[in-house]
Amino acid sequence: MTDLLDDHFHDACGVCGVFGHPEAANLVYLGLYALQHRGQESAGIVSVDERMFLTNRGGGLVADVFRRHELATLKGQQAIGHVRYSTAGGSISPRNRQPLVVDTAYGGMAMAHNGNLVNGVPMRRQLERRGSIFQSTMDTEVIVHLTALSRRKTFPERLVEALGQVQGSYALLAMNEQCVIAARDPYGVRPLVLGRLENGGYVFSSETCALNLIGAQFVRDVEPGEVVMIGPDGLESFFPFPARERRLCIFEYIYFARPDSIIDGVNVYASRKSIGMRLAQEHPVPEADLVIPVPDSGVPAALGFAQAAGLPFELGIIRNHYVGRTFIEPQQTIRHFGVKIKLNPNAHIIAGKHVVLVDDSIVRGTTSRKIVKMVRDAGAKSVHLRISSPPTTHPCFYGIDTPTQSELLAALHTVEQMREYVTADSLAFLSMEGMYATVNGSRTGYCDACFSGRYPIPLPRQEENTQLSLLQET
Ligand code: AMP
């Protein structure tokens, strides 16, 4: 299912930045359009023109936040932007919109961050005790304060000193009056790429799909632990942190990234489709008549499943693409309105059929339960739910919001109990081996903590974790 349905979910964020183009803000605006799937809660762009920082941020979708005349005021050759769905820092409050812009002893600075700091709360407390006054509840602001406090000579040195004190995941863009800096945490949990514009300018983006839209050439991924600075003297790259084993979030391939993006050399669509093929081999459904995706997230895997199983692929559920985030759900009159407004079964296709229903993941299980019921009510003879990832048993602390462990259906239930809960005739998940064999053929190099509980970046002590989740809920 998609993110619009469940307000309780928090997406990872998306970042985009341009250096060296007279229409920097316009290009970032387009880039954010392409990254909209990474966050729908707020969007913002900051540009620099003649040492002035110009800002436009607002709540909602990119299309709603930026008015033509406001965009036109974002002049300058460099700009960074952000789309957000909160993890640490909570939602709604306008204070929590990025990019952050501040004045420091060294001049202005803007910052946009995708990721989550695992020591964000203790660092913040420390800074507050030293007198820092925070304007937001975002952990990104910790990096801003640390950078402002640094006594190092240059902007990249100050940023690096700040980043050296935080732990967690970040794909980050920072900007002063002269340069744009991109940094990716030493594990490379969240993706970040570098591209080149036709006029020779540079662009950074969370995903390659933004480069395609603005006609930029993909140059390369920003490497884990790398800091790339682009300024008047061109591009400079540093590796200031001790080398770590690369740990890209495997869930980017399963669900988050856009299917047309290429992450670390792997096309997301291709990996999802081969995952679906593998799923068909691991968990075939001999009696099936057809394969139906849960749109949109289940589509590539369902295609792969259907091809591998030699079954028809049909759009048995139709998604309404025009549902915004805010709608009023009638309290009593129509039940499950939330799902129905967005997804409708195509009974013509489903009635009388044995159906394989494919989705990418089960988190709480509430969506799957509603959709299985919907398909059954539309006349399916049987509903076999196939999930194109292993069971989600552990929460993410690195930038993807998942509920607490006790709310994760797979944390406390067997597959059979889950099947019963979602009321499917059968339920099966992709194996870990299957996931790795199909995503990239290699088992190393990924964070799979949500499926395995193996957290590559050490988590803070339990009480700090509790504070962290409290903060997330504010
Ligand atoms: P549920 O099992 O009802 O909690 O929701 C599972 C659905 O949410 C799946 O169909 C996924 O496509 C989608 N999903 C999984 N993880 C996330 C996430 N972090 N943010 C938004 N949607 C998600």
Asked whether the beta carbons of 302 and 316 are under 8 A apart, the reply is no
The domain 263-444 having CATH identifier 3.40.50.2020: the answer here is yes
Q: Which of 108, 109, 26, 112 is nearest to 74 (CA)?
A: 26
Across 220-246, b (16+ Cβ under 10 Å) vs e yields ebbbbbbbbbbbeeeeeeeebbeeeeb
Helix (H) or strand (E) holding 236: strand 234-238
CB neighbourhood size of 157 (10 A): 16
What does the block give as tokens for 152? 């190092």
Q: Give the nearest ligand 1 atom to 366 CA.
A: 3
Write phi, then psi, for 454 (nearest 5 degrees): -90, 105
Q: Give the nearest ligand 1 atom to 364 CA.
A: 4
For 87-128, the pLDDT digits (tens) are: 555 556 899 999 999 999 999 999 999 999 999 999 999 999
What is the structure's pLDDT at 472? Answer: 43
Q: How far is Cα 325 from Cα 145, in angstroms, rounded to an integer?
A: 33
Asked whether the beta carbons of 84 and 109 are under 8 A apart, the reply is no
Q: What is the amino acid identity at position 289? A: D
Ligand 1 centroid from CA 355, angstroms = 21
Asked whether the beta carbons of 213 and 229 are under 8 A apart, the reply is no
One DSSP character per residue, 412-427 reads H--HHHHHHHHT-SEE
Ligand 1 pocket, CB under 6 A: 1, 3, 6, 9, 11, 255, 294, 297, 359-368, 400-402
Instruction: Give the pLDDT band of residue 1 (cuts 50, 70, 90).
Output: very low
Ligand 1 centroid from CA 2, angstroms = 7
State which fold the 14-247 domain adopts.
Glutamine Phosphoribosylpyrophosphate, subunit 1, domain 1 (3.60.20)
Ligand 1 pocket: which of 4, 7, 8, 9 to mutate (most atoms <8 Å of CB)? Answer: 9
Asked whether the beta carbons of 17 and 203 are under 8 A apart, the reply is yes
Domain ranges of the chain: 14-247, 263-444
Q: Which of 262, 170, 259, 251 is nearest to 211 (CA)?
A: 262
Ligand 1 pocket: which of 114, 255, 373 to mutate (most atoms <8 Å of CB)? Answer: 255
Among 240-244, 249-253, 340-344, 457-461, the range with the most confident prediction by mean pLDDT is 249-253
∠ CA 412-417-419 to the nearest 5 degrees?
125
Ligand 1 centroid from CA 36, angstroms = 17
With a cut of 50, say whether residue 61 has pLDDT above it. yes
- Full-model pTM: 0.92
Q: Give the nearest ligand 1 atom to 396 CA.
A: 19
With a cut of 80, say whether residue 134 has pLDDT above it. yes
Please report which residue ranges of 310-431 form alpha helices under DSSP H: 337-340, 347-350, 366-377, 409-412, 415-422
Ligand 1 centroid from CA 138, angstroms = 23
For 20-43, the pLDDT digits (tens) are: 999 999 999 999 999 999 998 999
